[in-house]
Amino acid sequence: MTQTLSASAAMSEYLAEAYRLAYYQDSSPYISTSALADVMGVSAPAVTRMVQRLKEAGYLEHEPYRGIYLTPKGEQEALMNIRRHRLVEAFLVSVMQFGWHEVHDSADELGENVSDRVVERMEQLAGYPRRCPHGEPIPTAAGEMPRVVDQPLNEVSPGEDYVISRVSTHDADKLEYLGQLGLKPGTPFMLLSRAPFSGPLQLRLGDTDQMIGHELAGTLRVCAPEAFELKAS
């Protein structure tokens, strides 16, 4: 019989990462335990133990040969964890003036300790953001996740106008460099050219042209200008 257990900080973190993995899959709600181990940076046995704990608590189900998927209870816990983390990041950047490359780990630490009331005030002071500083969508207080439609910069067609949607790296050095180039979520640009054989890309931001390497461009997700403003899914 499923036990009724409140989620610990570690359990919530696993649930949040499982949700993130599933969120950007279009075809299936199932994720592999190996993918979860990779993103958490832990061993396969450690994931197996945590998956068993989460299953016993009613947060997820595990089907042999298919993987794991979150129950409605697990999704709600994951969404509240993600909401807290991303709102703390937004507050640290927009109100406390930290750099966007400085806040990921701090948001993890603060998110485990701040109350829902404090998070609500952070959201208010940050101006009710729809995205975190890295462009990821922020779930609503009701547990609704806005849907993001975007593509890697190094895969889109030249000659079109785009907006930076989000950045899929937490590497502080990369984020700081991208910030120096002006390539942050919400920035409009035109992709002028993309060199063959994984060569560099040339972008036009306003009156300025920028070059960016193929690999680094792969960490930037871009969308059509009208798609940047998020709608609830």
User: Phi, psi at residue 61, to the nearest 5°?
Assistant: -125, 150
* Strand ranges of the sheet holding 220-223, from the earlier edge strand across to the other edge: 151-152, 220-223, 161-167, 188-194, 201-205, 208-212
* Rounded CA separation 188/165 (Å): 10
In order of their start, the domains of the chain are 9-70 (1.10.10.10), 79-144 (1.10.10.10), 151-227 (2.30.30.90)
* Rounded CA separation 233/231 (Å): 6
Average pLDDT score, the chain = 93
| pLDDT, tens digit, 9 for 90 and up, residues 157-189 | 999 999 999 999 999 999 999 999 999 999 999
Which DSSP symbol is given to 100?
A: T
Show the tokens assigned to 178: 């991208």
Q: Give the SS3 label for residue 31.
A: strand
User: Phi, psi at residue 174, to the nearest 5°?
Assistant: -65, -45
| pLDDT, tens digit, 9 for 90 and up, residues 50-98 | 999 999 999 999 998 899 999 999 999 999 999 999 999 999 999 999 9
Residue 230: how many CB atoms within 10 A of its CB? 16
Task: Judge whether 210 and 182 are in contact, CB under 8 Å.
Answer: yes
| pLDDT, tens digit, 9 for 90 and up, residues 129-161 | 999 999 999 999 999 999 899 999 999 999 999
